Amino acid sequence: MTATENPLLASEGLPRFDEIGPEHVEPGMGALLEELEAAFERFEAEIQPTWQSAVEPLELLGDRLGRAWGVVGHLMGVKNSDALREAHEAVQPRVVTLGIRMGQSRPLYDALRTLREGSGWNALDPAQHRIVESLLRDARLSGVGLEGEARERFNAIQLELAELATHFNNHVLDATKAFALTLRSADEVEGLPESLLQLAAQLAREAGEEQASAEAGPWRIGLDAPCFIPFMEHARRRDLRETLYRAYVSRASSGELDNVPIIRKILTLRREEAQLLGFVDFAEVSLSTKMAPDVPAVERLLEELRGASLEPARAELEELRSLAREQGAPEAEDLALWDVAFWSERLRESRYAYSDEDLRPWFPFPKVLEGLFSLAQRLFDVTITAADGDAPIWHADVRYFRVCDADGEPIAAFFLDPYSRPGEKRGGAWMDECLGRSRLLAPTPGGVRLPVAYLVCNQAPPTDGKPSLMSFGEAETLFHEFGHGLQHMLTRVEHGLAAGIRNVEWDAVELPSQFMENWLYERDVVRGISGHVETGEPLPEALFEKICAARNHMAGSTMLRQLYFALTDLTLHGGYDPQGGESPFDVQRRVAERTTVIPPLPEDRFLCSFGHIFGGGYAAGYYSYKWAEVLSADAFAAFEEAGLEEDEALRETGRRYRETVLALGGSRSPMEVFTAFRGREPTTEALLRHSGLLEAGG
> Alpha-carbon distance 306 to 623, whole Å?
12
Catalytic residue among 481, 505, 510, 629: 481
Q: Which of 463, 389, 447, 486 is nearest to 219 (CA)?
A: 463
Task: Provide the H-helix boundaries in 596-667.
Answer: 611-614, 624-642, 647-657
Q: Which of 353, 382, 585 is nearest to 489 (CA)?
A: 382
185: left (phi > 0), else alpha (psi -120 to 50), else beta? beta
Distances (CA, A) of 635 to 230, 475, 671, 688: 32, 21, 12, 14
Cβ neighbourhood burial of 488 (10 Å; 0-12, 13-18, 19+): buried
Q: Which of 176, 182, 178, 190 is nearest to 226 (CA)?
A: 176
631 SS3 class: helix
> Alpha-carbon distance 127 to 363, whole Å?
41
> Alpha-carbon distance 21 to 18, whole Å?
8
Q: Name residues whose C-beta falls within 8 Å of residue 218's C-beta, 6 or more positions apart in sequence.
A: 182, 183, 184, 201, 204, 209, 212
Instruction: Give the CA radius of gyration of the chain.
Output: 25
Q: How do strand 399-405 and strand 382-386 relate by DSSP bridges? A: antiparallel
> Alpha-carbon distance 158 to 79, whole Å?
26
Query: Contact, 622 vs 569, CB < 8 A?
Result: yes
The single-letter DSSP state of residue 16 is -
Q: Name residues whose C-beta falls within 8 Å of residue 105's C-beta, 6 or more positions apart in sequence.
A: 40, 44, 139, 144
Q: Is 481 a catalytic residue?
A: yes
Distances (CA, A) of 69 to 30, 80, 83, 614, 697: 11, 15, 16, 20, 46
> Alpha-carbon distance 676 to 663, whole Å?
12
Active site residues per annotation: 481
